[in-house]
Chain A
Amino acid sequence: MKYKLLLGLLALASMKAHALDGVVVNDRGAPIAGAIVKGLNSAQAVVSDAQGRFSLPGDSDEIHVMAAGYSHRVLHLHEQDDGSIVVTLSNTVIEQVDVVGLPVHGSVIESAIPVTVLTGDSLRMQQAATLGDSLGRQPGVNSNFHGSVASTPVIRGLSGPRVLITQNNLDVSDVSRVGPDHSVASEVSTAQQLEVLRGPATLFYGSGAIGGVVNVVDNRVPMSSETRGEILLSRESVDKQNLASFNVSSGTENFAFYVDGFSRESDDYDVPVALDGKKTVVNSAEDSSGYTFGTSYLLDNGYVGISLGRLDREYGIPGHSHGGHEESVYADLEQDRYQFISELDLDSSWLNAIHTRASYTDYTHSEIEGGVVGTTFFNKSSELRVDLFHKEWGHWKGALNLHYKNSELEAEGEEAFTPPSESETVAMALIEERHFGDVLVQMGARIEHVAVTADRVLLPSIEVHGHDVGQDQHAHEDEVTRVFAVDHDFTPISVSLGAVWDFMPGYNVGISVSRSQRAPSASELLSFGPHIGTRAYEVGALFALHEENGEQHFALSDSDFDLETSNNIDLSFRKHEGNVGVILNIFYNQIDNYYYQGATGLFAESGHDHDHDHGGDDGHDDELPVYLFSHADAELYGFEAQGIWKLSERWKTTLFSDYVHAELKSGTALPRTPPLRVGADLEYSGERANATLSWTRYAKQSDVADLESTTDGYDMLDATVSYLLPVGSQDVTLFLKAENLSDTEARVHTSFIKDIAPRPGRNFTVGIRGTF
Chain B
Amino acid sequence: MKQQNTMFKLQTLVMAMSAILVLTACGGGDTKIVEREPVITDGDDHDDYDHGSGEAGGRLFVLNSADLQAEVFDLDDNDLIKSIALSALPYSVYASGAYRYAALVDRNANKVNFIDGGLWLEPHDDHFHVNSSMPKLINYSVSGSRPTHFVSHGGEVAVFYDGDAATNSNASVQVLTDELIAGAGIPAEINFDMPMHGVAEPRGEHLLSTIRRDDADSTSNNFVLPDQVGVYHVHSGSYELEQTLDVNCPDLHGAAQNETHVIFGCSDGVLVAAEGENGDYSAQKLDNPDTLIDGARIGSIWGHEASEQFIGLASSGDVSQFFVIDPALGELELIDWEPLDNAKPVARGFAYEAEQFVILDDQGYLTQITSHQEGDYIHWEYSGRLEITGADLGEMPEGANFSMTFSQNGHTVYISDPISQHIVIVDLDSFEVSGEIELDYVPSMITWLGIAEEHDH
Contacts and interface: CB of A to CB of B under 8 A. Distances in A.
Interface in B38-56: 38-44, 46-47, 49-53, 55
Contacts of A484: 33-36
B318 interface: no
B24 interface: yes
B129 A366 contact: yes
A482 B6 contact: no
Size bracket, chain A contacts: 35 or more
Contacts of B24: 445, 493, 495, 515
Contacts of B25: 493
Given A373-B128, A412-B130, A495 B27 contact: no
A332 B123 CA distance: 13
Contacts of B41: 478-479, 481
Nearest to B54: A412
A117 B124 CA distance: 38
Contacts of A489: 29-31
A437 B36 contact: no
Contact of A497 (B17, B33, B34, B42): B17
B10 interface: yes
Contact of B49 (A413, A437, A475, A477): A413
Given A372-B127, A441-B13, A497 B40 contact: no
A371 B52 contact: no
A493 B51 contact: no
B29 A411 contact: no
Contacts of B455: none
Nearest to B28: A491
Interface string A436-450: 111101010101100
A439 B127 contact: no
Interface residues of B, number: 46
Contact of A476 (B35, B37, B44): B44
Secondary structure of the A contact surface, majority rule: strand
A616 B124 CA distance: 37
Secondary structure of the B contact surface, majority rule: mixed
Nearest to A494: B27
A560 B26 CA distance: 15
Contacts of B30: 488-490
Interface string A597-633: 0000000000101000000000000000000000000
A591 to B, nearest CB: 14
Q: Which of B27, B28, B51, B128 has the most CB of A within 10 A?
A: B27
A493 B24 CA distance: 8
Contacts of B9: 436-437, 439, 501
Q: Which of B16, B50, B124 has the most CB of A within 10 A?
A: B50
A249 B85 CA distance: 53
Interface string B371-403: 000000000000000000000000000000000
Interface in A443-501: 443, 445, 447-448, 456, 458, 475-493, 495, 497, 499, 501
A688 to B, nearest CB: 44
Interface stretch (A79-87, A387-395, A561-569): A561-569
A376 B122 CA distance: 13
A3 interface: no
A563 B27 contact: yes
A448 B52 CA distance: 31
A456 B30 CA distance: 18
A437 B41 CA distance: 71
Given A373-B129, A495-B20, A501 B28 contact: no
Given A373-B128, A412-B130, A519-B29, A501 B6 contact: yes
A420 B52 contact: yes
Contacts of A501: 6, 9-10
Given A376-B129, A485-B34, A556-B33, A479 B27 contact: no
Contacts of A483: 35-39
Interface of B: 6, 9-10, 13-14, 16-18, 20-21, 24-44, 46-47, 49-53, 55, 124-130
Interface of A: 314, 332, 366, 368, 371-374, 376, 410-414, 416, 419-420, 436-439, 441, 443, 445, 447-448, 456, 458, 475-493, 495, 497, 499, 501, 503, 511, 513, 515, 517, 519, 542, 556, 560-563, 565, 607, 609
Across the A-B interface, the 3 shortest Cβ-Cβ residue pairs: A476-B43, A497-B17, A493-B27
